[in-house]
C-alpha cells in the first residue's frame, strides 16, 4: 500500500472507531433495476434473514461530489447482502406551472425543494420492513413521473443526497453517516459535464444556477453538515478504493453482530473470549458449588464493572515516566457513585469498590407486586444526597423483564440525574429486558457480558440463565 493510501486507511479506520454507530443487515444479491436513471437504485435480495430492522447508511456531499459512485462501490462490495439505494433527488417536489415558467429562479438546492415528509415516510416503512413506492423525478421536466418505483424491504438501505446529513429528521434514521469530500473545482467541472450531457442544460445556464443557488446552498447547508458524518471520504479524480474497502469491511463486521447490538447504540456486550465463556459455563452449571459460583461470578462482575467504567468521560493528562519521558494519558472521571438494586445488585459492590476506591454506593429495593409484569413498588432507597451531580453506575447482575431496572432508573431520574449519566451494569441480560431498558431510556448505557435466549413464561427466569442469582450467591 502506498504511503498516501495507508494514511487514508488509517484516517478512515480512526474515524470509524471514533464515531460510527450502527445497526442492521442480511443477505441477497444486486441487480440494478433503476428505471429512472437518477431516481435512485435498487438491488434485490434473496432474503432478509428475518431481520426486524434494516441498517441505514446516509451518504452526503456537494453536487457531483461522487456520492452515487461511492454508493455503487459500497453496493458492489456488499453483493452478497440485500441492499437497496434511495436518492434524495427522487423526493424533489414537482414544480408548479408557474415555477416552471420561471425555473431559472427556482432554488433546487434549498431544503424546501424536497418533500421531506414523503422521504421520512418511506424510511419508516422500510424500517418496518414494508415495501415502498418511491417517486420518479424527471430532471428535464422538473416533474415527478406518474409512475413510481417499488422498493422491497432490505437489510441495508443506502440513502444518498446533498442534504441527507443536513436534515435532522433524516439523520435520526441513519445508523452510519458518510460525507464525500471533493474539491469545489472538480465538482463544478463534473456538474457542467453532467448537466449538459444528461439533463438537457447549456453551459451558461449551469454556471448561472451554480453561482446563484448551488454554491451558496453548499456553503450554508451541505458543507456544515460534514460535522455530523461518522466518516469523511476524501474523493478526487480517482476512486478512493482504500476508504470504500474499509467502510465496507466495517459494515460487514457490524452486519454480523447480533441483532440487539445493531438496533441499540446504547447497548454494549463486552467482547467474549474463551476465559469469559469458561467462567460463564461454571456459573451457569447447576451443579457448581456456592464457593465456585461466588468466585467466578465475582471475576465476571469485575469485568463488567471495568467495561462500564470505560464509558465514563475522561480528561487528558500527561505524566513523566521514570525514564524521564512524557506519557500522554487521561484522568478518570470524577463524581461517580454506585447504586445497587437489593439484593443481587449488592454482589457487584465489591467489584466496584475494588476499581474505584472509596466510591459512594447507594441502594434501591424494589418489590414486584404479584405478577412480575406489573410495575414494581419502591420499598427502600438510600442514595447520595448529591447524586444529581454524579455519574451513576446502577448495579444488578440479572436483567430479565427489565421491570426492576426500569423502576430503579425512574427513581434515579427522579433525583435529578441526567439520563445520559446513568450506566446500567449487568452480568446476564434477556432480550426482553434489553428492549425494555434501551427503548425506554435511550440515553442510559447498558453494559452486559452475555445476552441470553429469553425469559421463561412461567417462572420469569432468564433462560438458560443461572437460576436465582441471589440465592446462589448469598445463600448456603
Ligand X SMILES: O=P(O)(O)OC[C@H]1O[C@H](OP(=O)(O)OP(=O)(O)O)[C@H](O)[C@@H]1O
Ligand Y SMILES: Nc1nc2c(ncn2[C@@H]2O[C@H](COP(=O)(O)OP(=O)(O)OP(=O)(O)O)[C@@H](O)[C@H]2O)c(=O)[nH]1
Ligand Z SMILES: O=c1cc[nH]c(=O)[nH]1
Please list, in sequence order, all residues whose beta carbon lies within 8 angstroms of the beta carbon of residue 175, skipping any fewer than 6 positions away.
21, 22, 23, 24, 55, 56, 57, 262
- Site residues for ligand Y, window 245-274 (CB under 6 A)? none
Instruction: Answer yes or no whether residue 434 interacts with ligand X by CB under 6 A.
Output: no
Please list, in sequence order, all residues whose beta carbon lies within 8 angstroms of the beta carbon of residue 96, skipping any fewer than 6 positions away.
none
| Cβ proximity to ligand Y, 178 vs 427, nearer residue | 178
| Cβ proximity to ligand Y, 74 vs 162, nearer residue | 162
Instruction: Answer yes or no whether residue 461 interacts with ligand Z by CB under 6 A.
Output: yes
Please list, in sequence order, all residues whose beta carbon lies within 8 angstroms of the beta carbon of residue 310, skipping any fewer than 6 positions away.
none
Other CB atoms within a 10 A radius of the CB of residue 49 amount to: 16
Strand partners, 404: none
Which one of ligand Z, ligand Y, ligand X, none is in contact with 403 (Cβ closer than 5 to 8 A by kind)?
A: ligand X
Question: Are 210 and 188 a contacting pair, CB within 8 Å?
Answer: yes
Instruction: Answer yes or no whether residue 209 interacts with ligand Y by CB under 6 A.
Output: yes
* Kind of pairing between the strands at 176-181 and 156-160: unpaired
Residue 280 beta carbon to ligand X: minimum distance, rounded to whole angstroms: 17
| Cβ proximity to ligand Y, 89 vs 450, nearer residue | 89
Instruction: Answer yes or no whether residue 473 interacts with ligand Z by CB under 6 A.
Output: no
| Cβ proximity to ligand X, 65 vs 340, nearer residue | 340
How far apart, in whole angstroms, are the C-alpha atoms of residue 254 and residue 19?
14
81 φ/ψ sector (left φ>0, alpha ψ -120 to 50, else beta): beta
- Kindly tell me which residue out of 9, 276, 470, 474 binds ligand Z, with binding defined by CB under 6 A: 470
Q: Using CB under 6 A, which of the segments 32-40, 210-218, 233-241, 341-349 binds ligand X? A: 341-349
Q: Which cell goes with 86? A: 434511495
Closest CA relative to residue 473, chosen from 295, 311, 240: 295
Instruction: Answer yes or no whether residue 396 interacts with ligand X by CB under 6 A.
Output: yes
Q: Using CB under 6 A, which of the segments 16-24, 57-65, 337-345, 362-370 binds ligand Y? A: 57-65
Please list, in sequence order, all residues whose beta carbon lies within 8 angstroms of the beta carbon of residue 455, skipping any fewer than 6 positions away.
400, 401, 430, 432, 433, 461, 462, 463
User: What x/- string results for residues 400 through 419 when contact with ligand Z is judged by CB under 6 A?
Assistant: x-------------------
Q: Using CB under 6 A, which of the segments 136-144, 156-164, 279-287, 465-473 binds ligand Z? A: 465-473
Instruction: Answer yes or no whether residue 301 interacts with ligand Z by CB under 6 A.
Output: no
How far apart, in whole angstroms, are the C-alpha atoms of residue 290 and residue 345?
17
- Kindly tell me which residue out of 51, 67, 149, 391 binds ligand Y, with binding defined by CB under 6 A: 67
- Site residues for ligand X, window 398-417 (CB under 6 A)? 398-405
- Kindly tell me which residue out of 192, 398, 408, 427 binds ligand Z, with binding defined by CB under 6 A: 398
CA atoms within 13 A on the CB side of 349: 16
Residues that bind ligand Y (CB under 6 A): 61, 63-68, 89, 92, 108-109, 139, 142, 160, 162, 209, 214
Residues that bind ligand Z (CB under 6 A): 344, 398, 400, 461-462, 465, 468-470
Amino acid at each position: 500500500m502506498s504511503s498516501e493510501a495507508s494514511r487514508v486507511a488509517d484516517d478512515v479506520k480512526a474515524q470509524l472507531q471514533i464515531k460510527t454507530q450502527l445497526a442492521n443487515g442480511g443477505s441477497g444479491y444486486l441487480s440494478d433495476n433503476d428505471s429512472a436513471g437518477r431516481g435512485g437504485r435498487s438491488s434485490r435480495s434473496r432474503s432478509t434473514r428475518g431481520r426486524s430492522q434494516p441498517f441505514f447508511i446516509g451518504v452526503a456531499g456537494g453536487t457531483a461530489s461522487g456520492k452515487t459512485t461511492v454508493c455503487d462501490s459500497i453496493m458492489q462490495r456488499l453483493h452478497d447482502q440485500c441492499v437497496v439505494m434511495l436518492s434524495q433527488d427522487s423526493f424533489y417536489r414537482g414544480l408548479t406551472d408557474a415555477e416552471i415558467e420561471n425555473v431559472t429562479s427556482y432554488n433546487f438546492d434549498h431544503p424546501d425543494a424536497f418533500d421531506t415528509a414523503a422521504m421520512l415516510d418511506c424510511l419508516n416503512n422500510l424500517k418496518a420492513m414494508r415495501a415502498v413506492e418511491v417517486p420518479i423525478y424527471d430532471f428535464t421536466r422538473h416533474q415527478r413521473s406518474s409512475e413510481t418505483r417499488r422498493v422491497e424491504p432490505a437489510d441495508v438501505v443506502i440513502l444518498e443526497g446533498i442534504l441527507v446529513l443536513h436534515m435532522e429528521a433524516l439523520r435520526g434514521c441513519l445508523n452510519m453517516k458518510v460525507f464525500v469530500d471533493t474539491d469545489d473545482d472538480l465538482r463544478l467541472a463534473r456538474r457542467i459535464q453532467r448537466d449538459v450531457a444528461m439533463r438537457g442544460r447549456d453551459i451558461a445556464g449551469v454556471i448561472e444556477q451554480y453561482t446563484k443557488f448551488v454554491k451558496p446552498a453548499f456553503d450554508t447547508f451541505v458543507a456544515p453538515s460534514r460535522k455530523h458524518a461518522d466518516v469523511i471520504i476524501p474523493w478526487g479524480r480517482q476512486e478512493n478504493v482504500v476508504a470504500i474497502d474499509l467502510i465496507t469491511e466495517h459494515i460487514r463486521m457490524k452486519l454480523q453482530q447480533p441483532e440487539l447490538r445493531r438496533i441499540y447504540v446504547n447497548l454494549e456486550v463486552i467482547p467474549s473470549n474463551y476465559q469469559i465463556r469458561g467462567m460463564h459455563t461454571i456459573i451457569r452449571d447447576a451443579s457448581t458449588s456456592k464457593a465456585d459460583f461466588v468466585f467466578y461470578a465475582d471475576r465476571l462482575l469485575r469485568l463488567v464493572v471495568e467495561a462500564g467504567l470505560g464509558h465514563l468521560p475522561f480528561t487528558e493528562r500527561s505524566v513523566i515516566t521514570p525514564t524521564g519521558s512524557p506519557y500522554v494519558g487521561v484522568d478518570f472521571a470524577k463524581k461517580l457513585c454506585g447504586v445497587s438494586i437489593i439484593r443481587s445488585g449488592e454482589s457487584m459492590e465489591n467489584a466496584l469498590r475494588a476499581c474505584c476506591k472509596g466510591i459512594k454506593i447507594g441502594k434501591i429495593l424494589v418489590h414486584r407486586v404479584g405478577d412480575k409484569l406489573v410495575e414494581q413498588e419502591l420499598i427502600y432507597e438510600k442514595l447520595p444526597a448529591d447524586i444529581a451531580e454524579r455519574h451513576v453506575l446502577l448495579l444488578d447482575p440479572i436483567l430479565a423483564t427489565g421491570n426492576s431496572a426500569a423502576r430503579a432508573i425512574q427513581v434515579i431520574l427522579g433525583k435529578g440525574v441526567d439520563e445520559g449519566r446513568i450506566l446500567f451494569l449487568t452480568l446476564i441480560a434477556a432480550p426482553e429486558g434489553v428492549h425494555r431498558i434501551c427503548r425506554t431510556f435511550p440515553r442510559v448505557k447498558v453494559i452486559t457480558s452475555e445476552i441470553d435466549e429469553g425469559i421463561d413464561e412461567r417462572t420469569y427466569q432468564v433462560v438458560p440463565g443461572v437460576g436465582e442469582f441471589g440465592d446462589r450467591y448469598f445463600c448456603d
